[in-house]
Homo-oligomer: A and B are copies of this chain.
Amino acid sequence: MENRIQRIKEALQEAQYKLTPQREVTVKVLLENEREHLSAEDVFLKVKDKYPEIGLATVYRTLELLSELKILDKINFGDGVSRYDLRKEGAKHFHHHLVCMECGAVEEIEEDLLEDVEKIVEKEYNFKVLDHRLTFHGICGNCQSKKD
């Protein structure tokens, strides 16, 4: 965890961005809540606990910056807000999501699963795939058993 903070800091510096305490706290919050899919507002509130002077605009600016550096991925599950998800270290591609239409739970899938599909797309559609977004909508195990 300390390692990952360190590496993100280095990425910021390499890209000529300053290491401000606000950015540091924001990164920390993102790492501590890696399994959640926080909205900008969510991040803002959690950062505010550790650093009360922060402004919402700064959080937005930091999230945008981290997305630009491909440390974060911005994702949208269809409710009105953008959510942010840390990219797994070393992952070439964004991971996938399972959204339960019953309870709203979001699970992550780290397996790639799309290698074959991407090959087909590159060949048949002459499209160079650089990244993807895949979300399944359905019923999670929990809600399935509740129905029985």
Contacts and interface: CB of A to CB of B under 8 A. Distances in A.
A140 B135 CA distance: 22
A91 to B, nearest CB: 15
Identify the 5 closest CB pairs spanning chains A and B, nearest first: A126-B141, A130-B138, A128-B139, A129-B138, A131-B137
Contacts of A131: 136-138
Counting chain A residues whose Cβ lies within 8 A of the other chain, the interface size class is 20 to 34
A127 B113 contact: no
Contacts of A5: none
A109 interface: yes
Contacts of A19: none
A69 interface: no
A72 to B, nearest CB: 13
A130 B98 CA distance: 11
